[in-house]
Structure 1
Amino acid sequence: MKAIALNKYGGPGDLELMDLPEPRLGPDSVLVRVKAAGVNPVDWKVGAGYLDPVLDAHFPLVPGWDVAGVVERTGPDAGEFSPGDEVIGYVRKDWAQNGTYAELVAAPVRTLARKPAALDWHQAAGLPLVGLTAYQSLERLGVGEGQTVLVHAAAGGVGSLAVQIAAARGARVIGTASERNHDFLRTLGAEPVVYGEGLADRVRELAPDGVDAAFDFVGGDAVDVSQQVLRDRSRVLSIVDHDVAAKGGHYLFVRPDPEDLAALADLADAGKLTVEVDRVVPLAETAEAWRHSQSGRTRGKVVIEVS
């Protein structure tokens, strides 16, 4: 099969288009013919070795955890799916090697759900990791109807999903973004504010009584600023700041969960959730997708078209 892989830790320039053996199929896994794969910052961080202390890597290393495709074959204990089923998945395992930047991926059933019909293949490939991160973040802080929430980096991959999910739950959403993305945020259901110096004052103008929950999807001083405007300083969650727990908040590293993934698919099919696709590149040009992701200027998702 064709796949993009690394022979050693490195960056975009070290990615190679290779012919690799078909991945082995475990008893509770299915073989997915990949239509598209989502690109996430964690992909190039794994490729650079930044997660080496917590995630073993084996080479050649095929990056990627997001997938949308069609089931080609099933293991003997993978009765949840049948050949021909259209699926999406956050195919994260306990080591890094056989990722989703490939024509075929062996995916445990615990990482998959059925593809939402409302999304095309590119949108579907961009949904799993960011959607689950947003969904599990909101679940962790119990966001619901009538609450006011602050979402940092609201126009990004995770943030744009968090805005939509929170709005679908009946929450009021204030989202930080550059001014060029403010109209986009309004279409998602957020009240936009410019990030940067004076952010706490701008949030207070919109929510004089404070906000109920805050979500840091960007890093920097987002946690500290959030705690200045929160009614309860503990109701801040970060996926970036590893020190957030020491500050009284919550840290989250997204987990594969088929029920959460199915809930996201249901929201998409109900017209309450969509995925903004910033750029689509062919498999052979994955290096360009990584460079664009590393620029920090993406709106929504970067996606690799595989087949």
Structure 2
Amino acid sequence: MRAVAIDRLGGSEVLQVVQLEKPRPGPGEVLVRVACAGVNPADWKCREGYLGGFLEYRFPFVLGFDLAGTVEVAGEGVHGLPPGTRVFAQSDVGAGKWGSYAEFACVSRESVVVMPDNLDFASAASVPTPALAAWAGLFDEGGLRPGMKVLVHGGGSAVGGFAIQFARCAGARTVATCSADNADRARTLGAECAIDYRTADIGDEVRRWSPEGVDLVLDCIGGGSLPGGLEVLRQGGILVSILTLAPGDSGPDHEAAARRGLRTAVAYSRMPSGETLGRIAALLAAGRVRPPHFDLLPLVDVAIAHDRLQHGHVRCKQVLQVAE
């Protein structure tokens, strides 16, 4: 099969289009013929070795967390997914197995979800990791409930866009930070107020929107980009940071929060992820949630997608077209 693999850790130059043996599904696995693969910031961090504490790299190594395609064959013990079924999933690359930058990928049955009929492969491939991260931050760590007030920091990102929509679906009220270019989209997705982080004082704007503070801050950016995050929380509120794996990003100040009667947490999508992705698929199928805007690039341009994400030269989600 054709795949993008690395034979060492490093910059985008280590990404090579190669021919590899097609994998065979083991018990409880599904072999998926990949049509499209989503590209996430975690991919370039994986390429440079920042996931070394979570997995053992064995070269050649195929990157890629997100995929959409059709079932090629189901492994032993797998039922209900006949060949040709349209599916999407978060790959098992986080467990050290080959990921989605390939014509075929073996994925745990517990992570594979039937695609909503109203999505094409490219749209579906843009969903898993950012949607699962947003869900984990809001619900698993943040305990989101109807009527709560939420600040989504990074509302213009794929994670932030999903967070705004999930909060709206859950009956919460949301304010979001984003660039001026993304303000209209943030409001369309459900944010009551969009704050331009480049020109406005975020704390002042949040307190103007909610003088008593917010119940939950979801930091989708990290890296110290929200210095006053604790200041806008009401007593007993929680600041949740999405795990970035970026060098030097230590996450929220847990001790400072505790001294003030506030809570903090770090969110990441848990594996296997099919149960949660199934809930998200239902929202997508009902039209209550939209996938992000994306650029569709051929597989051979994978290095371009990585460089855009790594150096901040991207305005929307990046998706690779693996097959026609």
User: Which category of TM-score, normalised to the shorter sequence, fits these structures?
Assistant: over 0.9
- The answer to whether 1:227 aligns with 2:242 is no
Native 8 Å contact 1:31 1:104 kept in 2: yes
* Most deviating of 221-230 and 198-207: 221-230
Native 8 Å contact 1:4 1:101 kept in 2: yes
2:317 and 2:73 map into 1 onto residues whose CA distance is: 28
Native 8 Å contact 2:127 2:292 kept in 1: no
Native 8 Å contact 1:70 1:84 kept in 2: yes
Corresponding residue for residue 177 of structure 2: 176
Corresponding residue for residue 267 of structure 2: 252
For structure 1, the 5+ residue unaligned runs are none
Which amino acid letter does the alignment assign opposite residue 220 of structure 1? G
Matches within 5 A, 1:276-295: 276-295=292-311
TM-score by length of 2: 0.90
Native 8 Å contact 1:89 1:128 kept in 2: yes
1:43-96: CA deviation from partner (whole Å, max 9, x where unpaired):
110111112133211111110010101001010111142211111101135543
Matches within 5 A, 1:56-75: 56-75=56-75
Matches within 5 A, 1:1-307: 1-93=1-93, 95-139=95-139, 140-190=141-191, 191-196=193-198, 198-222=201-225, 224-232=227-235, 234-239=237-242, 240=244, 242-244=250-252, 245-246=254-255, 247=257, 248-256=263-271, 257-307=273-323
1:261 offset after TM fit, Å? 0.4
For structure 2, the 5+ residue unaligned runs are 258-262
1:168-208: CA deviation from partner (whole Å, max 9, x where unpaired):
11211111011111111111111210115721111111111
CA 1:298 to 1:163, structure 2 compared with 1: closer, same or farther past 3 Å?
farther
2:93 and 2:14 map into 1 onto residues whose CA distance is: 23
1:297 offset after TM fit, Å? 4.3
Native 8 Å contact 1:65 1:91 kept in 2: yes
Native 8 Å contact 2:5 2:15 kept in 1: yes
C-alpha root-mean-square deviation of aligned residues, in Å?
A: 1.7
Native 8 Å contact 1:123 1:274 kept in 2: no
For the residue of structure 1 that corresponds to 2:167, the secondary structure is helix
1:215-246: CA deviation from partner (whole Å, max 9, x where unpaired):
01111335642210111355110014544344
1:302 and 1:237 map into 2 onto residues whose CA distance is: 25
1:33 and 1:243 map into 2 onto residues whose CA distance is: 37
Which amino acid letter does the alignment assign opposite residue 192 of structure 1? A
2:312 and 2:179 map into 1 onto residues whose CA distance is: 12
CA 1:13 to 1:93, structure 2 compared with 1: closer, same or farther past 3 Å?
closer
1:82 and 1:116 map into 2 onto residues whose CA distance is: 16
For the residue of structure 2 that corresponds to 1:150, the secondary structure is strand
Number of aligned residue pairs: give it: 307
CA 1:234 to 1:147, structure 2 compared with 1: closer, same or farther past 3 Å?
closer
Percent identical residues: 36
1:298 and 1:110 map into 2 onto residues whose CA distance is: 32
CA 1:222 to 1:249, structure 2 compared with 1: closer, same or farther past 3 Å?
farther
TM-score by length of 1: 0.95
CA 1:65 to 1:222, structure 2 compared with 1: closer, same or farther past 3 Å?
same
